[in-house]
Structure formats: structure tokens, C-alpha cells
């Protein structure tokens, strides 16, 4: 099928957006660095000696093995995420408990009223909003990550490259592993099936809980927000992800509690993997693209 130039431009929009955003942030960072330049006086031998114990007190993570394929990297990230509960402290467990209560409370009290309210207020504008933003929970989010990767490679921007790497890992772990397992185990009926808000058939084929699109969108949004400090970046990232959740409710694909659960899963995985991968980068471990015959992927390599 031949696509019009306008259709092609719209389809490439997320990739262009990711590149433009990364370039803009890098330019802003460069301008700030130039304004903050000042002479640096050489440190004395006493100061250097005093600084050595502090550096030694913060050991690098254990070295990984030789370069591995993408599958091995994902196993490492998935293992880290799945083992995280064993490292949680009391405060973290309390936060997780509050999130769980919020999801259950939403399912019990708000799912049906919110679903009805959204369906009653359908119009041309809401149709457009839902149609435009829903793909940011699927192919558009990957295009945005691709834009960050290209901008990082072209502009020699490690932070943009790290966003692409961490976003890919978070997406595959959160929406490619955790969400599908929960969908299968919970077996909640979708709103479009008109079986009520409390219809659950574990391992019965239904997959409303949690929302995979929202899990994906918030995994990417949380990675971007974790890497960049400006408030407008965080607001934009989470705002787009929230509109993905709205679009899934609007299209009768999910209840509000499905969306809330997906947002929590994506955000928790994204933020935790950013911290984990930053430690790997601190030990000179890097993720790089790998091209092979009839295929492509990523390799995890350690610099000696």
C-alpha cells in the first residue's frame, strides 16, 4: 500500500521527536556548562591523599563476564528486578502496600463510574487524543527510544544513549515479561466484553489486568524522567504516558485499575533499572548495538 507523504511524516513523528528532544537537552546542557566554567586550581598532595579513602570506600559492582547477547542482558536485568523484593526495606514494602491498596480500591469503587464517565463524553476531540497518544504505549515508544539512541550516537551524548539503553531494557522486562505473566495469571475480562468489573478467570485467556500499553509507556517515561532533571521533561514524559492510559480506557480496552497497575509496574521497573545500569556503567560496562548476519541486537561489554 502506497502511503502519502503526510502519512509518512506522522508515522516518523515519534522518532523525530526523540531525536529533537535529545538534541535540545544536549544543547541546553552544553550552554549551561559553558556559563559555569571557571579556573580550577591544582589540588595539593595532602588533599589528594585525603580523597583516596573516600573513593576506595565505594567499590564498583562485581565485574561481569565477557560480551554477551541481548538475551543474557535481559536475563540479568530481569533477575535483578525479580529479586528486588528480597532487598526492599520496610519503607519500600509500605509504599508497595499503599500502591496495592490504591489499585484494589480503584477496582472496587471507581472502575465502573470512571468507565461510564469516559464513554459518555466521547467526541471528535477525544477521539483524536486517544488515537494519537495510544501508540506511545506500543510502537511509538520504541521510536522515541530510537530517536534518543540516534541523537546520542550523532551528538556523542552518553545520557541520550543511556536513555535508549535503559528504556529498551525496562520495556522488555516490564511489558514483555511482568505484564504478560500477570495478565495470564489474573485473567480479568476487558470492559468491551461487558462481563462487569469483577470478572476474573485465572489462566482463562482474558488479559485486561494490567494494561500492557500503560506499562510500556510508563517504563519509558520513568527512564526519561530519571535521567533528566528539568521539570518540563518529567511532566511531558509522564503526561504522555497518562494519556496512553486515558486512551485505553476510552477505547474500552481497560478499566482504571488496570491502568493504575500498569503505571506502577512500569515506573518501578524503569526507575530501578536506571539505578542498576548506572552502577554497571560506573564499572565500565556498556551496552552497544551488535550487527550480525541476518540479524541485529545488543552486546554487553566490559572495558579492562
pLDDT at 139: 92
pLDDT at 41: 47
DSSP class of 109: I
pLDDT at 76: 77
pLDDT band at 298 (very low <50, low <70, confident <90, very high): very low
Evaluate whether 199 touches 209 at the Cβ level (below 8 Å): no
Indicate whether 178 pLDDT > 70. Answer: yes
Residues near 18 by beta carbon (within 8 Å), at least 6 away in sequence? 143, 144, 145, 146, 147, 148, 150, 151
175: cell is: 511489558
Q: How many other C-beta atoms lie within 10 A of the C-beta of residue 117?
A: 11
Q: Distances in Å between the alpha carbon of 184 and those of 124, 204, 213, 226, 237?
A: 34, 7, 16, 30, 29
Tell which wins on pLDDT, 247 or 44.
247
Judged by DSSP in three states, 4 sits in coil
Provide the mean pLDDT of the chain: 78
Indicate whether 110 pLDDT > 70. Answer: yes
- Quote the pTM value: 0.74
User: Percent of the chain at pLDDT above 90?
Assistant: 56
The predicted-structure confidence for 215-252, as pLDDT tens digits, reads as follows 999 999 999 999 999 999 999 999 999 999 999 999 99
The angle subtended at Cα 212 by Cα 140 and Cα 77, nearest 5°, is 90
Per domain, the residue ranges of the chain are 66-302
What would the CATH number be for the domain defined by 66-302? 1.20.144
pLDDT at 19: 52
The predicted-structure confidence for 249-271, as pLDDT tens digits, reads as follows 999 999 999 999 999 999 999 99
Tell which wins on pLDDT, 88 or 255.
255
Amino acid at each position: 500500500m502506497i502511503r502519502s507523504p503526510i502519512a509518512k511524516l506522522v508515522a516518523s513523528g515519534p522518532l523525530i521527536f526523540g531525536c529533537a528532544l535529545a538534541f535540545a537537552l544536549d544543547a541546553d546542557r552544553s550552554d549551561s556548562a559553558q556559563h559555569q566554567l571557571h579556573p580550577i586550581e591544582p589540588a595539593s598532595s595532602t588533599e589528594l591523599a585525603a580523597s583516596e579513602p573516600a573513593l576506595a570506600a565505594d567499590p564498583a559492582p562485581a565485574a561481569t563476564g565477557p560480551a554477551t547477547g541481548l538475551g543474557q542482558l535481559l536475563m540479568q536485568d530481569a533477575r535483578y528486578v525479580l529479586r528486588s523484593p528480597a532487598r526492599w526495606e520496610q519503607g519500600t514494602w509500605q509504599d508497595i502496600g499503599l500502591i496495592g491498596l490504591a489499585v484494589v480500591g480503584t477496582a472496587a469503587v471507581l472502575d465502573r463510574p470512571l468507565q461510564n464517565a469516559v464513554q459518555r463524553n466521547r467526541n471528535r476531540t477525544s477521539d483524536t487524543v486517544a488515537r494519537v497518544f495510544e501508540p506511545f504505549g506500543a510502537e511509538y515508544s520504541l521510536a522515541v527510544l530510537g530517536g534518543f539512541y540516534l541523537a546520542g550516537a550523532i551528538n556523542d551524548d552518553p545520557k541520550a544513549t543511556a536513555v535508549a539503553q535503559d528504556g529498551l531494557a525496562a520495556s522488555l522486562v516490564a511489558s514483555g515479561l511482568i505484564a504478560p505473566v500477570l495478565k495470564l495469571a489474573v485473567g480479568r475480562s476487558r470492559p468491551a466484553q461487558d462481563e462487569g468489573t469483577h470478572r476474573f478467570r485465572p489462566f482463562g485467556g482474558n488479559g485486561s489486568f494490567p494494561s500492557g500499553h500503560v506499562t510500556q509507556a510508563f517504563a519509558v517515561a520513568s527512564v526519561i524522567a530519571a535521567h533528566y532533571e528539568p521539570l518540563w521533561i518529567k511532566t511531558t514524559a509522564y503526561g504522555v504516558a497518562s494519556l496512553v492510559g486515558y486512551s485505553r480506557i476510552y477505547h474500552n480496552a481497560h478499566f482504571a485499575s488496570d491502568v493504575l497497575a500498569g503505571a506502577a509496574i512500569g515506573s518501578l521497573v524503569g526507575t530501578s533499572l536506571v539505578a542498576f545500569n548506572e552502577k554497571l556503567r560506573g564499572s565500565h560496562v556498556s551496552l552497544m548495538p551488535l550487527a550480525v548476519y541476518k540479524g541485529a541486537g545488543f552486546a554487553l561489554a566490559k572495558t579492562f
